[in-house]
Amino acid sequence: MPWLRISLLWLCFITTVAQAGTQLATDLKVLTSPEHAGRGSGDVEKNASARYIHARFTEAGLETYYQSFRFRQGLGKLGYGHNVVATLPCNAHVCDKSLVISAHYDHLGSRGSRYYPGANDNASGVVVMLDIAQRLAAQQRHREIVFVATDAEEKGLYGAHFFAATLNPERVALNINLDMLAVSGKNRLYVLASKQASDLTQAIAPAFDNQIRAFIYTSPASMARRLDTPRVDWLRASDHYAFHKVGIPFAYFGIGIDPNHHTHKDQFEQVDLPKLAQVSGHINAFISALSVAAAP
């Protein structure tokens, strides 16, 4: 009964999409909840968000560890940060250079009795990263894929600088940095990509369609002109800069300007979850194009 098989296939497909969407929603809800208090960084103890992300990577079957570091918080005060690093090893016979996927999990914490949920900045990037880790864990991969949820980005990209210094740039093909992925009405995602990685970043455009459109730039100035943000240096605006500094090419994905950026309004209710699931699907398609090996 071929119609039955087709229906069942459709049912499986719809269920998988729905499950991915549900998990994205759950992760976003948790990371923006009062218990996570705006994911402020600086404490010597790992906060609830670091522990949640560690548990989610572990649950997906990835080898996961914390990478703690110290940084200066102004006036000589020391802050503590805790990156969460998770790895999917290459499981093909011949392995290419690694990919490093990054998304900062820290946000502004709380002031007085109110906290900053930071749904778009950057719970959105973290939940998409978790979704992609889960999907890629089930694949045959011809590269090692390292995921890093960085801390203390808002204070000066400290977690990313610390992590990037531990890498051998010769062994990393590309950093893919996710920061602010909650697309709104215009269905647009902006990408700033290193020129020297064009052999890899040429796979971005085919991974997108009219559902979510990707606008790709290799010049921060062109991106700033397109977004009408003359005062934003998109090269230094997020963690990809730390990878760039140590000579690792990058592709940075984000929505550009968010009117709710760094306000209390950047909250769960503002995120269009079906669109976030689409964004995750497209970025996953790009990363899969770079890393998924054909079944033997």
Contact set with Zn ion (CB under 5 A): 121-122, 179
Residue 98 and residue 145 in contact, taking contact as beta carbons nearer than 8 Å: yes
Tell me how far, at minimum, the Cβ of 209 lies from Zn ion, in Å.
Answer: 26
DSSP helix/strand/coil, 266: coil
Nearest approach, Cβ of 230 to Zn ion (angstroms)?
20
Query: Which residues in 258-290 are b (16+ Cβ under 10 Å) and which e?
Result: bebeeeeebbbebbebebbbbbbbbbbbbbbeb
Q: Give least dist CB 107 to Zn ion, A.
A: 8
- Residues 105, 258: Cα–Cα separation, whole Å: 17
**In the complex, minimum distance from the CB of residue 150 to Zn ion, in angstroms, rounded to a whole number:** 10
Measured from the CB atom, the residue of 144 and 258 that comes closer to Zn ion is: 258
Instruction: Kindly tell me which of 90 and 100 has the beta carbon lying closer to Zn ion.
Output: 100
Name the residue nearer to Zn ion (CB basis): 131 or 258.
258
In angstroms, the CA 69 to CA 50 distance is 14
Locate 243 and state its tokens.
Answer: 């990878």
Whole-angstrom Cα distance, residue 219 to residue 151?
27
* Closer CB to Zn ion, 171 or 236, in the complex: 236
Q: Where are the beta strands (DSSP E) in 199-293?
A: 213-217, 250-254
Nearest CB to Zn ion, comparing residues 106 and 144 = 106
Give 152's contacts (C-beta < 8 A, 6+ positions apart): 41, 42, 71, 79, 81, 106, 158, 159
| Min dist. Cβ of residue 118 to Zn ion (A) | 8
Nearer of residues 182 and 285 to Zn ion, judged by Cβ: 182
Q: How far is the CB of 42 from Zn ion (least distance, A)?
A: 16
